[in-house]
Amino acid sequence: MRIVFCWVLLLAACYLVDQLGDQVANVVRLDYISVAMNVGLLMLGAWLSGLMVARVGLPRVSGYLLFGLLVGPFALNLIDDKQGEGLRFAGDLAVSLIALTAGGEMNWNWLKDQIGKLFTIAGVVIVVVWVGVSGVVYVGSAWIPFLAEQPDAVRVVAAVLIGVIAAANSPAIVMAVINESNAEGPVSRTSLAVTICKDMAMVVVFAATITLCRVMVDDSASLSGGFLLAVAVQLIGSLAVGAAIGAAMALYVRGVGAHLVVFIIGCCMLIALVGEQAFTVGGQSIHFEPLLMGLAAGLIMENLWSEVTDPLFHEIESVSLPVFCLFFGAAGAQLQLGVFGEWRVLVVLLILVAVRLATVWGSCVIAGRMVKLDKAWRGRLWLGFVPQAGVALALVLLSEKALGDAEWVQEMKALLLGMVAVNMLLGPLGLRWALARSGEVDARKPASAGVTTSTA
């Protein structure tokens, strides 16, 4: 009851301030004024919501997302679209922190043994989902409202893009569910590792796809020979920069070792900011990937300076919860649900989600047999690849940016955002169920956090 009471009081207080502020404050309401209060509202409200849903057996992440949805533009509108944009830094912080944590979870010896299997699974999932979803979208394009009247080239482009975005999934949600469940075991380990491998592969796949799609729809665009070089620089550069950051972090912990929370947040922001800087290589505009940089940094620290950086990872664990609450709360507030208002598009959306689920499941069946995964748990692995969040959203926005503002692009974007919203809300439920059925919930020993020993 205390949790519910606090939750109601929090919402009431923020609502009061939002309504009265304009009337009693003798100030100009500037955009950044609301950021601090929104951060507090999301952090506390998401946390309380997570506690409430956990009482009924749901993953806390679902609570965080639902709270964001509640205070967002489609419900209470305590955080409107513009204010939601002001919280973008939360996403940058979260991606970097998650990548650091994920890197810290990976034992190099285990990775060396499993890398072939992981990339095989990742490759199969990407290819099967991509081909499957693209195929269904292309075949059904005559019945999709925004594609029915379009030329064949546009239908192909739309199908291919929808397919590739359907293949992406969210390391953030996977990490968050694993953390809150205190999970340890083959399903959690493999889900996270494959998701990260998929993300690495998606950098190449998406870059190639979007370049080809642009050429198909835009007569002025052309293929550049430096494309492969650009992608290679992006991948290798991200890993190299990340490794350097990891070494610097280890040096700080060894030399100073104080104010670690502030230091971690500063490093995460540094990774995010470095990721925003664009370079031109081989005629292509590239930037280093925060996810890869954070991963490399975490990996380096965990495997080369494990004892030195233990306190750092311990603090990262403490900081993760506030960051997750803020990130997923903000993600929930930015969910675009407009697509649910049009029944024809809604039907297309539901079919798309169903096809995606089916292809994800099918790809894991195929991949599991190829790499001979243990039958005891391989049937549940696919649930780790259902959740979508930041990565998929970023790909949607990149697609829009690359293809321009034609009406079909906007409608495709709305459909994709709807797909991501559904997968964002349903994904954590499925993954949590899979971890529970596999007996991995609460299996993590406190002293072994950050060290993986058994193999998938």
Partner 1 sequence: MTLLAAASESSTGLRILLGLAVLVALALAGSSRSVLPLRKSPIGKILMTGGWVSVGIGLILGPGVIGLLDLEHVMVLRPLVLFCLGWVGLMVGLQLRMELPKMLPARTWRAVAADSVICMIVLGAVAFAILSYGMRGVVEHLGMEHHVTAVILAGVLAASGIGWSAETRSIVGNRPHLKKAAGALRVVSGMSSIVAVLVYGVLFMLIPHGDLMREPEALTRLLPTFGIGLTVSLTIAVVCGLLGFWMMTIAGRGNSEFLVVLLGLVALFAGAAAMMGASALFVGMCVGVVIVNMPGKTLMKFQRVILEAEHTIAMALMLTAGVLADPFLTWWMWGLVLALVAARMLVKTSISRRELVQMEPSASNTAVTVGPLRQAPLGIAMATGFGISVHAVATDEAINHTIDGSLITGNQLVMIVVMVGLLSEFSPLVSRMIHPERWVVSRDEDAGDQVITTDDVPAAEGTE
Interface residues with partner 1 (CB under 8 A) are 2-3, 5-6, 9-10, 13-14, 16-18, 20-21, 23-30, 32-41, 43-44, 47-48, 51, 255-256, 259, 261-262, 266, 269-270, 273, 276-277, 317-322, 325
CA nearest to 289, candidates 302, 280, 276: 276
- The number of C-alpha atoms within 13 Å of 390 and in the hemisphere containing its C-beta is 27
CB of 106 vs partner 1, minimal distance in Å: 22
Distance, in Å, from the CA atom of 326 to the CA atom of 394, rounded to the nearest integer, reads 18
Taking a C-beta distance cutoff of 8 angstroms, is the pair 121, 367 a contact?
yes
Distance, in Å, from the CA atom of 114 to the CA atom of 193, rounded to the nearest integer, reads 9
Nearer to partner 1, 25 or 142 (CB): 25
Nearer to partner 1, 123 or 329 (CB): 329
Distance, in Å, from the CA atom of 129 to the CA atom of 421, rounded to the nearest integer, reads 18
Nearer to partner 1, 47 or 385 (CB): 47
Q: Is 139 exposed, middle or buried (0-12, 13-18, 19+ CB in 10 A)?
A: exposed
Nearer to partner 1, 121 or 272 (CB): 272
Nearer to partner 1, 25 or 376 (CB): 25
CB of 336 vs partner 1, minimal distance in Å: 25
Helices within 25-87 (DSSP H only): 33-55, 60-71, 81-85
Distance, in Å, from the CA atom of 120 to the CA atom of 232, rounded to the nearest integer, reads 20
Distance, in Å, from the CA atom of 66 to the CA atom of 52, rounded to the nearest integer, reads 11
CB of 277 vs partner 1, minimal distance in Å: 7
CA nearest to 426, candidates 47, 163, 98, 65: 65
Q: How far is CA 368 from the centre of its chain?
A: 24
Nearer to partner 1, 116 or 266 (CB): 266
Place of tokens 């099918």: 362
CB of 101 vs partner 1, minimal distance in Å: 13
Nearer to partner 1, 103 or 275 (CB): 275
CB of 327 vs partner 1, minimal distance in Å: 12
CB of 176 vs partner 1, minimal distance in Å: 12
CA end-to-end span of the chain: 42
CB of 93 vs partner 1, minimal distance in Å: 12
Nearer to partner 1, 184 or 199 (CB): 184
- Please list, residue by residue across 193-215, b when 16 or more beta carbons sit within 10 angstroms of its beta carbon and e when fewer do: bbbbbbbbbbbebbbebbbebbb
CB of 100 vs partner 1, minimal distance in Å: 16
